[in-house]
Structure 1
Amino acid sequence: MNGPLVDAGSVPAWLRPLVEISGELDSSAFTRFSPPQNSYSRSAAVLILMGEGPSGPDVLLLRRADTLGSHAGQVAFPGGGAEDGDDGVVGTALREAEEETGVDPAGVRPVAVLPELFVPVSRFAVTPVLAHWQTPSPVHAVDAGETAAVARVALSDLADPGNRFQVRRPGTDYKGPAFAVDGMFVWGFTAGLLSVLLSLGGWERDWDRGDVRDLEAALREHEWETR
């Protein structure tokens, strides 16, 4: 079940709206895809780790290695598939974040669980875990075979209208939000989730939704930023 893990009054004011609304959401708030009935999907979790940096509230993102079998080279939240011994989705999210970015779980306070979301291309049923980075620790790409880069990205930069547009894949019905920020091109599942969180958290600013770019062209344009 999704919803708050802590009293919303115990988190910073800037994070409180997301904690308060977490129990009222369902998957339709984030995606049109629901896990298919009677079909295999693997459980996974991602950590949406938000802290306060020099530019205000920020979120931890990583770029996946170009050699990975799925979502290669894409910007993502730390996360991955559930393993035996994980303490539920929170345990999966924390373990994966530590393995990928070296974040110290002792400084991370999970504050809410968001609805499970289905990612058709990888057939993962992904549960986002929202957390407050109470005591930030150094982070880095722990294993170059999995993670190419790690960064804390300010929410104000993600919300900057100059950094936002949409991408479309010709020949398909795919169209979704995208960001070009801090040398990263963010699209797909991660961009969709960030877009909704910016709106729900009260950070969103008016941006040009009519700016729709060809996905393949955008990938080529921003390729230098992700190498």
Structure 2
Amino acid sequence: MADGIWDNGGAPTGGPRLFPDALPDGVGARRRPSAGELALPDWFAPLLTRLHRSRAEDFTRLPTPDEGGRDSAVLVLLGEEPDGGGPDILVLQRAATLRNHAGQPAFPGGVADPGDADPAATALREADEEVGLDPSSVTLLAELPTLWIPASDFLVTPVLAWWHRPHPVAPRDPGEVAHVARLPVAELTDPANRLRLRHPSGWIGPAFEVRGMLVWGFTAGVLSTLLDMAGWTRPWPQDRIADLPPTTPPPAATADADEQP
């Protein structure tokens, strides 16, 4: 994460907003579960420490416009594998029949509704609608800087959270979500599963091949930065570059772009 994963121009002001008590020396949450349920594992501490000290430039160099854009949010939900197997991250795969981002893995999330109080409310509502996630099973930790995607004019706020009480999840509407998976961090950081993708437009960015899913674009960029921040990244062959098929839509302002048309 040399000078930020969002390598596309000037940087906005501001940085991540950690919810009250979600700090390295006193980890907690804005919305606490019942007594005894909240116990953040030790592996969270380095990530929250880096987030607490970070600036917006660590996440994006593309300035967020003062006006316009469609507010949206995604939920970056970290859980822990059974029997202490280490952290994992919840992702979904969009249905192949969708008009936009067909078949592409993504974090749960979507466009804000007028009744949503904040990006966290949007992310939790969308995760419930998409995969049946129980909001009470989630501890909110931080809102990352809002990231602008020019091609769609979305203003996306990633919301970092701890899945303190995991439960089964599945696509609620197969016409929108084809598959849901918890991807182990150990597999995301396996050098054999990492590569960079070249789009016909000239864009090059990070990607992961994990459990039959090719994660790239916006989602891979956010993952790549958080893995770096947490100290989980392992050396991997960055000269491993593959081409995306020409029919794949351009990723616009996605992360770790070596080239941006």
TM-score (norm 1): 0.89
Which of 51, 54, 66 in structure 1 is aligned with 2:79?
Answer: 51
Amino acid at match of 2:185: L
- Output one character per residue of 1:134-154: Cα deviation in whole Å (capped at 9) or x when no partner: 000110011112111100010
Question: Following the alignment from structure 2 to structure 1, what is the Cα–Cα distance between the partners of residues 61 and 206?
Answer: 14
1:50-129 alignment, distance < 5 Å: 50-54=78-82, 55-129=85-159
Question: Following the alignment from structure 2 to structure 1, what is the Cα–Cα distance between the partners of residues 242 and 60?
Answer: 20
Q: Within the alignment, does 1:2 sit opposite 2:16 as a pair?
A: yes
Amino acid at match of 1:180: E
Structure 2 gap ranges (5+) = 1-14, 28-39, 249-261
The secondary structure found in structure 1 opposite 2:155 is strand
Deviation of residue 160 (structure 1)? 0.3
Which of 237, 245, 250 in structure 2 is aligned with 1:208?
Answer: 237
Which of 218, 225, 243 in structure 2 is aligned with 1:196?
Answer: 225
Question: Following the alignment from structure 1 to structure 2, what is the Cα–Cα distance between the partners of residues 72 and 27?
Answer: 30
Which of 204, 208, 222 in structure 2 is aligned with 1:179?
Answer: 208
Q: Within the alignment, does 1:133 sit opposite 2:163 as a pair?
A: yes
- Contact kept, 8 Å, 2:22 with 2:142, in 1: the verdict is no
Deviation of residue 37 (structure 1)? 4.9
Deviation of residue 31 (structure 1)? 3.8
Question: Following the alignment from structure 2 to structure 1, what is the Cα–Cα distance between the partners of residues 17 and 207?
Answer: 27
Deviation of residue 74 (structure 1)? 0.6
The secondary structure found in structure 1 opposite 2:76 is strand
- Contact kept, 8 Å, 1:4 with 1:20, in 2: the verdict is no
Deviation of residue 27 (structure 1)? 4.1
Deviation of residue 70 (structure 1)? 1.8
Change (3 A) 1:135 1:180: same
Change (3 A) 1:171 1:90: closer
If each structure's strand is expressed as a fraction of its own residues, which one has the higher value? 1
Change (3 A) 1:147 1:27: farther
The number of residue pairs the alignment matches comes to: 217
- Output one character per residue of 1:45-103: Cα deviation in whole Å (capped at 9) or x when no partner: 00001010133100000001122222121100000010011120110010011111111
- Contact kept, 8 Å, 1:27 with 1:117, in 2: the verdict is no
Question: Following the alignment from structure 2 to structure 1, what is the Cα–Cα distance between the partners of residues 201 and 138?
Answer: 42
Change (3 A) 1:143 1:26: farther
- Contact kept, 8 Å, 1:177 with 1:192, in 2: the verdict is yes
Please give the root-mean-square deviation of Cα atoms over the aligned residues, in Å.
1.9
TM-score (norm 2): 0.78
Partner in structure 2 of residue 169 of structure 1: 199
- Contact kept, 8 Å, 1:79 with 1:93, in 2: the verdict is yes
If each structure's helix is expressed as a fraction of its own residues, which one has the higher value? 1
Question: Following the alignment from structure 2 to structure 1, what is the Cα–Cα distance between the partners of residues 50 and 153?
Answer: 27
Question: Following the alignment from structure 1 to structure 2, what is the Cα–Cα distance between the partners of residues 69 and 165?
Answer: 26
Deviation of residue 169 (structure 1)? 1.5
Question: Following the alignment from structure 1 to structure 2, what is the Cα–Cα distance between the partners of residues 2 and 196?
Answer: 13
Task: Give structure 1 regions of 4+ aligned residues with deviation exceeding 6 angstroms.
Answer: none
Identical counterparts, % of pairs? 49
Deviation of residue 29 (structure 1)? 2.3
